[in-house]
């Protein structure tokens, strides 16, 4: 079994299209999307990286292509070392990556979160549905174009809207930056926040 510093050499020896990825901490490898599952299985079965600790995606912005990159962080519970694997999604308008749930059970919730917040789909996932936002929510809150303070959106539950008198919320909840009450320091209670939720009206210049 290779030392952690040589994991890239081992991967590239079996997958010549793999390239080294700049990293300041752990070995990191770029692989084509079509080879991602095979690389992950090789790392698990032949290199001892038996634990998926994280799966996420990067949105490089709508001006770049490829726009989305999926990233896996694997850990070896016998050698106590890490490796990072990254693969670019090939379709910027409908990003997807084959599911790794068949290799790592932990991928189930990670992929659901990545789909929910970044809009990356994982074909073959046994239950790919939103994990934080509600079904039918029209946005992906971690994409670059999503405003920091959220977008007012209809509440999905008419009963809750009727009880609260609120039929729009901003998700994330409207606010930021946090501010202390006038003349007072921040207390231990939840600080107040300015309402900076995005809307078509708020997006217009002051003189529009």
pLDDT at 169: 64
pLDDT at 1: 42
61 dihedral zone (left: phi>0; alpha: psi -120 to 50; beta): left
Contact 168, 148 (CB under 8 A): no
pLDDT tens string 150-166: 888 876 667 666 777 66
pLDDT tens string 81-134: 999 999 999 999 999 999 999 999 999 999 999 999 999 999 999 999 999 998
Nearest-angstrom CA–CA distance, 1 and 7: 9
Domains of the chain, each with CATH number or no CATH: 4-118 (3.30.460.80), 151-203 (no CATH)
Mean pLDDT along residues 145-149: 84
pLDDT at 152: 81
pLDDT tens string 2-57: 456 699 999 999 999 999 999 999 999 999 999 999 999 999 999 999 999 999 99
Q: Is 51 helix (H, G, I), strand (E, B) or coil?
A: strand
Q: Is the pTM of this model over 0.85?
A: no
pLDDT bucket at 175, cuts 50 / 70 / 90: very low
pLDDT at 185: 60
Give the torsion through C-alpha atoms of 130, 76, 10, 21, to 10 deg.
50
- Buried/exposed 129-145: b ≥16 CB within 10 Å, e otherwise: eebebeeeeebbbbbee
- The string of DSSP codes covering 85-96 is EEEE-S-SSS-B
């Amino acid at each position: 079994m290779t030392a952690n510093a040589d994991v890239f050499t081992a991967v590239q020896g079996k997958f010549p299209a793999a390239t080294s990825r700049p990293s300041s901490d752990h070995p990191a490898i770029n692989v084509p999307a079509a080879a991602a599952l095979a690389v992950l299985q090789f790392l698990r079965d032949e290199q001892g990286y038996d634990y998926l600790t994280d799966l996420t995606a990067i949105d490089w912005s709508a001006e770049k292509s490829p726009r989305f990159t999926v990233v896996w962080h694997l850990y070896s519970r016998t050698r106590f070392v890490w490796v990072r694997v990254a693969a670019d999604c090939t379709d910027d308008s409908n990003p997807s990556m084959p599911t790794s749930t068949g290799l790592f059970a932990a991928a189930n919730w990670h992929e659901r979160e990545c789909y929910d917040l970044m809009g990356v789909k994982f074909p073959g996932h046994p239950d790919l549905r939103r994990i934080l936002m509600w079904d039918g929510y029209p946005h992906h809150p971690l994409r670059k174009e999503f405003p920091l303070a959220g977008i007012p959106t209809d509440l999905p539950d008419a009963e809750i809207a009727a009880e609260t008198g609120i039929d729009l919320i901003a998700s994330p909840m409207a606010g930021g930056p946090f501010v202390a009450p006038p003349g007072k320091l921040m207390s231990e209670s939840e600080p107040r926040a300015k309402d900076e939720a995005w809307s078509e009206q708020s997006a217009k210049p002051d003189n529009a």
